[in-house]
Amino acid sequence: MTDGKIPAARLGDDGPEVGVQGLGCMGMSFAYGPTDAGESRATLERALELGVTLYDTADAYGAGENEKFLSPFFKAHRDEVVIATKFALAIPPDDPTRRIIRNDRPYIRQAVEASLERLDVDVIDLYYMHRRDVNVPIEDTVAAMAELVREGKVKHLGLSEVTAAELRAAQAVHPIAALQSEWSLFSRDIEASVVPAARELGVALVPYSPLGRGFLTGSFANADKDLTADDFRRQQPRFTGENAAANVALLEPVRTLAEAHGVSPGQIALAWVQQQASVHGLPVIPIPGTRKVSRIEENTAATRIELTKEELALLEPIAAKVAGDRYADMTFTSAGRE
């Protein structure tokens, strides 16, 4: 850190420079229980002071509410922030409670206009395909996204939860700045082929849920008992029942290292993700999500922690022992299609 700010990294070979840690804004409107709008706004401002410039949202977060919520902050700091949003999780007209995956050109063109309107900006800095619709060739999807770049609606392209083969096919159509996929001490399936492909192609990795959706911080131990009824984590196999009990025990080495460094377990989890940049030789810009000022301070401070080889080795066995999948339905993930 210089001037109290986190260091910078480049978002892909041709992408913008951003703070090496971004901010996941999803929980400010969606998925993780009750929110406090004032505290969320204060968190956004504090993040910027600390050098966080990449802000992550999606049209699906609260069915557009998250983009609307962030709009005043983005407009107040337009030249300082890199706005990332996503398309693909469409609401079918006959049932607003469901989501279907759409990657087709007509849908993309409609989705970008809706996001631009809700965000109330002229251009989206980084536009991601959120989930893959296997019925549409990825080349066609990326060609439709590239049109948006030529038209000045979008600056850079990103993909989420794609396989190495899909990433290669996409990059052959248009440069991809960032690949956003789950990556944490608990979720390491992308290391087998996706991360090497991203390194080879000059694509930055943007790990989502780097805190294991909060589980790695110790802030909850069992979703059924500790979280509200509407919390999305109650649908995730690894956070409930016997799986949760088994997975809590895996946090022991994280706690041991936290004590040794005089930091929190969450900071060790984030330091591990940040350090994957040097382990794998590519830019890694995690986007931990928080709605609290104290936590954005804690999370960004983790960029200063260096883990030794021996400490990394202590954390190495955790992921292979995790009980339960990342999602109830893994076919929507890159691992589910490999």
Ligand X SMILES: NC(=O)c1ccc[n+]([C@@H]2O[C@H](COP(=O)([O-])OP(=O)(O)OC[C@H]3O[C@@H](n4cnc5c(N)ncnc54)[C@H](OP(=O)(O)O)[C@@H]3O)[C@@H](O)[C@H]2O)c1
CB of 219 to ligand X, least distance (A): 4
**∠ Cα 279 281 286 (to 5°):** 75
Interacting residue with ligand X among 290, 300, 303, 334 (CB under 6 A): 290
Contact segment (CB under 6 A) with ligand X among 11-19, 24-32, 244-252, 304-312 equals 24-32
- The residue of the chain with the least Cβ separation from ligand X equals 24
Nearest-CA neighbor of 52 among 28, 18, 76, 84? 18
Pairing of the two strands 89-90 and 100-101: antiparallel
Is 61 a catalytic site residue? yes
Q: Which residues of 93-106 are buried (b: 16+ CB within 10 A; e: fewer)?
A: eeeeeebebbbeee
Contact segment (CB under 6 A) with ligand X among 6-14, 100-108, 146-154, 295-303 equals 295-303
Asked whether position 62 contacts ligand X by CB under 6 A, the answer is no
Contact segment (CB under 6 A) with ligand X among 13-21, 114-122, 255-263, 289-297 equals 289-297
Q: Give the count of residues interacting with ligand X (CB under 6 A).
A: 29
Asked whether position 127 contacts ligand X by CB under 6 A, the answer is no
Compute, in degrees rounded to 10, the torsion defined by CA atoms 97, 102, 105, 111: 40
Q: Which residues of 169-181 are buried (b: 16+ CB within 10 A; e: fewer)?
A: bbbebbbbbbbbb
20 HSE (CA, 13 A, CB side): 24
Asked whether position 210 contacts ligand X by CB under 6 A, the answer is yes
- Alpha-carbon distance of 77 to 243, in angstroms, equals 43
DSSP code at position 189: G
Considering 32, 61, 107, 128, which one is annotated as catalytic? 61
Asked whether position 298 contacts ligand X by CB under 6 A, the answer is yes
Report the residue number, 110 or 220, with the smaller CB distance to ligand X: 220
Residues interacting with ligand X, by CB under 6 A? Answer: 24-27, 32, 56, 130, 160-161, 180, 208-214, 217, 219, 266, 287-292, 295, 298-299
Q: Which residues are catalytic?
A: 61
